[in-house]
Chain A
Amino acid sequence: MDIKLKIWRQSNTASPGQFKDYQVTGITPDMSFLEMLDVLNEDLTARGEAPVAFEHDCREGICGSCGFLVNGLAHGGRHGTTVCQLSMRFFKDGDSLALEPWRAKAFPVLRDLIVDRSAFDRIIQAGGFISANTGSAPEANSILVPKASAETAFDAAACIGCGACVAACPNASAMLFTAAKLTHLNSLPQGQPQRDQRTLNMVAAMSRELFGSCTNHGECEAVCPKQIPIEFIGNMNRDLVRATFRRRREAIVVAGTQRA
């Protein structure tokens, strides 16, 4: 297979970027999308040009490192698939593909297709801790977890933090990501003691990182490689109302909230 590529090249955050055209040949249908880029980069390196920078780690769809837009669709738009798991057999010989990095104020481009997603880390950090004992494994039946809660938490915990939800969102909102992280811990008995505080702080962190505001388009859910449902956004909204009205003992303080 021969593929025509139009790739966003940007040497650092400060410099302006532009699209550049490339041609890759000798692609086999069983290569992954990132392997196709590896072929391109070997070719570029041999010619003395700078290889295309893209993030990758596990290449099996579970680490959340990779991700960019392929022809306007995050991760290439195949249901429940990261771009590293996207196989070249889904494309045709002679296809032209445009690759563009996630675009959001909160995700500055570091180089080419790599963006800085540390805003996500700070949202998670704002969530604080859960009061679980560490050390040897606890007795399995000491805390009973209802089946439905365990399943909900597990579905939410599947979020790999790749950022596709923000990238696909017309508002560049991080609601699906934050909702997944909150639903994960707020669904479990172990997450209850800090539930309200965690919700207030993570929602505040989301605003502080200058993500946009959700208008229920559902684009996030459509591109999420882990198929996190927007139902979790509703859970988060309810948890925020609960957190706002239930906290009685402590002063109501949301750390460093930027007023939206």
Chain B
Amino acid sequence: MAASSVVSEPVVKAGEAAGSAAAFGTNRLLLLWSTVIGKKIVMAVTGVIMVAFVIAHMLGNLKIFAGPKEINTYSRFLREVGMPELGYGDALWIVRLVLITAVTLHIIAAVTLTRVSWQARPIGYRERKDLETSFAARWMRWGGVILAVFIVFHILHFTLGMVGFQPGQFRELHVYSNVVAGFSVWPVSAFYILAMLALFSHLDHGIWSMLQTLGWSTARNQATLRLASRLIAGVVFAGFVSVPVAVLAGWIQ
């Protein structure tokens, strides 16, 4: 529907506009998704999934400081977990599918809502000052774009070994040597650290934001939740960045 052709009836009565019933059917999830708030809620819920993953991923990465045997065993464990009931790598693929779904929904909702917002103020202000918002909040959209690009690169790099390695340098399941070789290329480490800065910013606003969207943030606990959000973001950032820093500094080789 073209935006300009939308005309509001002066009085709206539920049940009168049959057109929308056809659009939604009776599916409650689709009805929720069709509203701007529903998409925000989807972003919050998929955000929870991704934050949980990111924390687990960061903790797993720290195993590199325990030596090659420890982290290589861990990477094999991730593929063998659930055996013999599950096949080799099945559990990992279940997690991957959940994450791919979460990322996809998160991005679709973000793009749709961004378009709604950009269309909502066609003529901008000559001057408008911010009182309350933060750098993190203003950088959510572009930080998200940086993260999306990074995730694609990161999978091609450390998961598939298709970019960033000399031929024959990347060896499946030899995580320790792969990480050391990968991060020894300084532009790769620099991009990784930049992406982690974007992640810090995204989580700083994002973790509190999902609590706010889901209605857990109140006038009373808001300051505490914002601080907790920043702390989690900081710990995740420090955990991830410690690896390339350690490689570049020669602490692990």
Whether the pair A215, B8 counts as a contact (CB closer than 8 A) is no
Check A88 for interface membership: any CB of B closer than 8 A: no
Whether the pair A128, B132 counts as a contact (CB closer than 8 A) is no
Partner of B6, one of A210, A213, A221, A236: A210
Measured CA separation A237–B131 after assembly (Å) = 24
- Kindly list chain B residues whose C-beta atoms are within 8 Å of the C-beta of A223: 131
How many CB-defined contacts (below 8 Å) exist between A and B?
A: 219
Tell me which of A37-45, A65-73, A138-146 binds B: A65-73
Measured CA separation A214–B109 after assembly (Å) = 12
Whether the pair A214, B40 counts as a contact (CB closer than 8 A) is yes
Measured CA separation A28–B35 after assembly (Å) = 50
Partner of A255, one of B12, B41, B214: B12
Tell me which of B115-123, B145-153, B195-203 binds A: B115-123
Whether the pair A212, B32 counts as a contact (CB closer than 8 A) is no
- Kindly list chain A residues whose C-beta atoms are within 8 Å of the C-beta of B126: 19, 98, 100
Measured CA separation A246–B218 after assembly (Å) = 24
Check B38 for interface membership: any CB of A closer than 8 A: yes
- Kindly list chain B residues whose C-beta atoms are within 8 Å of the C-beta of A168: 128, 131
- Kindly list chain B residues whose C-beta atoms are within 8 Å of the C-beta of A235: 215
Measured CA separation A68–B161 after assembly (Å) = 57
Check A11 for interface membership: any CB of B closer than 8 A: no
- Kindly list chain A residues whose C-beta atoms are within 8 Å of the C-beta of B38: 240, 244
Given contacts A207-B35, A219-B133, contact A229 B120 (CB under 8 A): no
Measured CA separation A134–B105 after assembly (Å) = 47
Whether the pair A213, B23 counts as a contact (CB closer than 8 A) is no
- Kindly list chain A residues whose C-beta atoms are within 8 Å of the C-beta of B3: 105, 210
Whether the pair A253, B20 counts as a contact (CB closer than 8 A) is yes
Min Cβ gap A251→B in Å is: 6
Given contacts A77-B131, A259-B1, contact A171 B120 (CB under 8 A): yes
Whether the pair A100, B137 counts as a contact (CB closer than 8 A) is no
Check B19 for interface membership: any CB of A closer than 8 A: yes
- Kindly list chain B residues whose C-beta atoms are within 8 Å of the C-beta of A77: 129, 131
One digit per residue, 1 when the CB lies within 8 angstroms of any chain B CB and 0 when it does not, for chain A 145-176 equals 00000000000000000000000101111010
- Kindly list chain A residues whose C-beta atoms are within 8 Å of the C-beta of B18: 253
One digit per residue, 1 when the CB lies within 8 angstroms of any chain A CB and 0 when it does not, for chain B 19-50 equals 11101101010011011111111000000000
Check B125 for interface membership: any CB of A closer than 8 A: yes
Check A208 for interface membership: any CB of B closer than 8 A: yes
Measured CA separation A219–B133 after assembly (Å) = 6
Whether the pair B21, A98 counts as a contact (CB closer than 8 A) is no
Residues of B in contact with A (beta carbons under 8 Å apart)? 1, 3, 6, 8-21, 23-24, 26, 28, 31-32, 34-41, 112-114, 116-133, 137-138, 140, 205, 208-209, 212-219, 222
Residues of A in contact with B (beta carbons under 8 Å apart)? 19, 69, 71-73, 77, 98, 100, 103-106, 119, 122, 125-126, 128, 168, 170-173, 175, 197, 200-201, 203-219, 221-223, 229-231, 233-238, 240-241, 244-245, 250-260
Closest 10 CB pairs of A and B: A234-B215, A212-B120, A212-B117, A171-B117, A172-B120, A72-B129, A217-B133, A222-B131, A213-B113, A222-B132
- In the assembled complex, 9 residue pairs joining A and B whose CB atoms fall closer than 8 Å, in A order, are A100-B125, A103-B121, A128-B14, A208-B8, A231-B219, A237-B215, A252-B26, A254-B14, A257-B24
